[in-house]
């Protein structure tokens, strides 16, 4: 089982990989920036992207909880 810093590093790497994948899916015009409209439009049409965004928010240390 992973301990302390090692666990945090694994979690951080997973979050970064997921964020990169979401960014690549959302940046429709490939300009290196994601607008709110791009993100919302993709999330509305693609439940997988929406779930990645929501899942990342839930697993990010310090993320706002509802």
pLDDT in tens, 25-56: 889 899 999 998 998 899 899 998 888 778 76
Distance CA 44, CA 50 (A): 7
**Is 39 domain-assigned?**
yes
**Is 64 domain-assigned?**
no
pLDDT of residue 66: 46
**Is 65 domain-assigned?**
no
This prediction's pTM: 0.58
Tokens of residue 36, six digits: 């709110």
Dihedral, CA of residue 10, residue 53, residue 25 and residue 40, to nearest 10: -160
Express as a percent the part of the chain with pLDDT over 90: 21
Structural domain for 30, as ranges: 4-59
Whether the CB-CB separation of 34 and 26 falls below 8 Å is answered with yes
The answer to whether the Cα torsion of 54, 58, 60, 66 is positive or negative is positive
If one counts the domains in the chain, the total is 1
């Amino acid at each position: 089982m992973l301990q302390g810093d090692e666990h945090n590093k694994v979690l951080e790497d997973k979050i970064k990989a997921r964020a990169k994948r979401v960014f690549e899916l959302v940046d429709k015009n490939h300009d290196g920036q994601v607008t709110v409209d791009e993100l919302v439009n993709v999330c509305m049409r693609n439940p997988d992207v929406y779930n990645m965004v929501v899942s990342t928010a839930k697993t990010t240390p310090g993320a706002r909880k509802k």
